[in-house]
Structures are given as C-alpha cells and as structure tokens.
Amino acid sequence: MKTARLHGIGDVRVADEPVPEPGPGETLVRVTAVGICGSDLHWFGEAGIGDATVSHPLVLGHEAAGVIESGPRRGTRVAIDPAITCGACRPCRDGYRNLCARISFAGHGDQDGAMREFLAWPSRLLHPLPDSVTDTDGALAEPLGVAIHALDLGHVRLGARVAVVGCGPIGLLLIAVLRAAGARHIAAFEPLPHRREAALRYGADVCLRPDILAGDLRELVGDGADAVFEMAGTADAVTLSLAAARPGGRVVLGGIPADDQISFQASTARRKGLTIAMARRMNDVYGRAIGLVAAGSFSLAPLVTERFALASAGPAFGSAAKRQGLKVIIEPAA
C-alpha cells in the first residue's frame, strides 16, 4: 500500500509499505478521505507541535473516513475517531476522554495516522456513516466535533453575543455551530480576505480584520461578547479575545501557538473576572457531529477547496501551508 510519512520539516515522502494486520479488537479500514488540519501543518512546518517532536518518520492525518475492508461489517462506510483512550485513568472515568492521561492520537507522537491506503484501527472507534453523509463529510466530522466541543466549553446561551477570532476551517465551523445554537450576534475577526468572506457565508454577522482599533471594537461589541473563541494560535489573537469579552464573560482558547507559549495581560482578565477555558481536541461528541451533518444542519462540502491523491501528499501540504484556500483533502483511494 502507499503511505505518506513526514521525515522532517517540509519533508513528506510517499512509499510502499505492507498492509497492516489488525490486532485484537481492531478492524482493517480502506481510507478514502483525510483532511489536512492546522495541527498537521505545525508538524509539517516545524516537525513538531507543542512539546511533541518527530522522533521517527510519522504518518500524519487524524480527520479521516474510510470503508471497512473485512469482517462482518465489511463495506460499511465509517468516520474514524482518531483518539485511542485508555478508559481507566481519572480523566476518562470523569468523562473527559480528550484529556486521557494515556491517549494515543492518530498522526501525533508515536501513533501513525491516516494518510495511507489502509489502517488497522480499534473497531469501537469506527462510526458508521449514513448514506446521506459523504466520505469527505465523514472526514470533516472530526473538525466539526472540535467546534462543537468549543461551543460546549463556551456555555453559549440562546440569544448570546459571541465572537470568533481566527476563521480557518475550525473557526468557520464554529461560526456555523454558534449560529445553529442560537447565538444572536456573531462577530468574527480574520486577517485573510477570502476567509473573511467565508465567515460571512458561514453565518457571521460581521467579519473584520483583527487589527481593529479599541474604539471600533467597543462600537462593535458594546460591553463585550458573552463568549469569545480564539482559534488562531497567536498572541495578538489572545489579546483581542480578552478585549472583546464582556465583564464576567468566557474566553475559549483553541488556537495552537507555534512557540508553545500563551500569555495575556493579567489586569484585563482579572478586572473583567473572565473565565478562561482551554480547548483540547474534542470530547465525546462524534455522534452529535455525524447526526447534525446527516440531518442537513451543516453543509461541509463548501469548506473543501482542493483535493489531492495520496501520491501528491507533499504538494498537498505545501498548498495547505500557503493558506490560500480553506480545507485540503487527500483521497488515498483516488
């Protein structure tokens, strides 16, 4: 089978490897669609993310869908949950599987991901897709789940005023989720013009450049947003998020900084009495994400701006890194 591995900064190589043999509790899946995530771009551009670095050639990709290749469920189309959790540690027992102390995550650290033609994966993490949900939709159920998890952390109430800072794919999906959840006014901030346009299509009431002046910001959000979602991973985005929040509001930090550091002005956060929540991936929301797509609540197809075969994984990453489009999909079965 063909497999794409990251060997170092900007170095993705496609090679032939044996088809994996499923172990106990695993199922062989033929991968049909894999999305390139912002976290994948950290691996591609920095050979690491946070405190994790490439220690061996790594198969990236955690936004994935495929078709079960063997066994009683053969032919079933599935979304692939990338998080293999232990189920026994304190976070798992308390219902925070995304914070599992012994988690293995596709395309991270020592766990190979989905940018290959076949993978063997725990059967319990393969979610059947309804006929109305495409393979690409199935792959994008993961970033949609991340957006839903951020919404949960924001405690957004019906009629709330909210703000989203950073309108990459997850920021855009978050805007759509916020609109569906009944937010009254959604202000978005994004430096790239094509993403500002996309934010308006996805449901933002207004989308402006993030270098907005303090007076203009007050005119836009008044006393501030009830919840602000930072999805850019920069210091300026964090500063803007705290400035846009109302006293007593919540700020959800979901962006991943390149230098693994987050800082903000303590007096701003303290005087406003802000609640700051850190978003890591998603909790147990896959079923909600797939159900909402199946019900037609979200249209994920417009998010995809480019598609590549697995043999062109290197150029696919290069294109995604330019951030000239929205979501790049790799199709290993093409």
Domains and CATH numbers, the chain: 2-144+282-331 (3.90.180.10), 147-278 (3.40.50.720)
CB neighbour burial string for 287-325, b if at least 16 within 10 angstroms, e if fewer: ebbbebbbeeebebeebbbbebebebbbebbebbeeeeb
Helices assigned H by DSSP within 222-305: 235-244, 266-272, 286-294
179: exposed, middle or buried (C-beta count within 10 Å: 0-12, 13-18, 19+)? middle
Of 38, 73, 43, 64, the closest CA to residue 55 belongs to: 43
**pLDDT on residue 136:** 93
**pLDDT of amino acid 270:** 87
CA 162 to chain centroid: 19
Cα–Cα dist 111/113, whole Å: 6
- Among 198, 196, 178, residue whose Cα is nearest residue 302: 198
Taking the whole predicted model, whether its pTM rises above 0.75 is answered as yes
Question: Which tens digits make up the pLDDT trace of 174-190?
Answer: 999 999 999 999 999 99
CA distance 154 to 171: 14
Residue 317 has a pLDDT of: 87
Which residues in the chain land under pLDDT 70? 213-216, 219, 334
pLDDT at 213: 67
Q: Write down the pLDDT at residue 223.
A: 81
What would the pLDDT profile of 5-17 be if each residue is shown by its tens digit?
A: 989 888 889 999 9
What is the rounded CA–CA span in Å between residue 186 and residue 225? 9
Alpha carbons 186 and 178: distance in angstroms, whole number: 8
- Average pLDDT along the chain: 90
Output the pLDDT for position 215.
Answer: 66
CB 106 within 8 A of CB 82: yes
In whole angstroms, give the CA distance from residue 137 to residue 23. 28
